[in-house]
Amino acid sequence: MMDGKLYKSMEFIMNAFLLNLLWLVLCLPILTIFPATTAMFGVVREWKKQNDIRIFTAFFRLFKENFKQSFFIGILWLVFTGLLLGDLIIINQLNSSVKYVLFSFFFLMGILYLFVSIYIFPVLVHYQVTWKNAIKNALLLSISRLHYTILSILIIAACLVLCFYLPAAMMLGFSISAYLIYSLVSGGFHHENEEKIS
């Protein structure tokens, strides 16, 4: 019994290491971060559905299948991030009382942006939807499953802190975080309508 548990633990670590390595390498061009992250969550989804999975083959298949849509959403995310940060910088330089109203509005936008960012990758790999519906449903799910959204943010924060103080953790931290996050947020999906969501 112990040998079986040890084998499964070692297999999990090796799969997580390989997935993490593939993700890091495919993220190097920067612009491919979204397709690579979508592929990583896709592998995690297949990993949880079946014990035996070829990480390398599955990753590149999912990277190719989701490249166009996830790349486009990634561009939107970069543009929105730039606009959001630019607006906050401009608002910070204002002296009128309107400054606080605008800051509160854009702070709320930033929170919603973070929420959607948590769910967008699981939604992309779990449902066959357009990019608009992917964003819409990521927002709705993140708000309706707020406790899981907050836990997911804490997982990401813990991963980043751990990697900052222990750089070697970068070789496992991201894939294990993706595994934990998908395990949490997938509970909000409608299993009876897995392929489509309106």
Mean of per-residue pLDDT scores for the chain: 87
For residues 197 and 133, the answer to whether their CB atoms sit within 8 Å is: yes
Q: Mean pLDDT throughout 175-194?
A: 77
Q: What is the pLDDT of residues 78-136, one digit of tens each?
A: 999 999 888 888 888 888 778 888 888 888 999 999 999 999 999 999 888 888 899 99
Predicted confidence (pLDDT) at residue 198 exceeds the cutoff of 70: no
pLDDT of residue 190: 53
In whole angstroms, what is the distance from residue 131 CA to residue 137 CA? 10
pLDDT of residue 95: 80
How many other CB atoms are found less than 10 A from the CB of residue 41?
27
pLDDT of residue 51: 66
pLDDT of residue 3: 61
In whole angstroms, what is the distance from residue 95 CA to residue 57 CA? 56
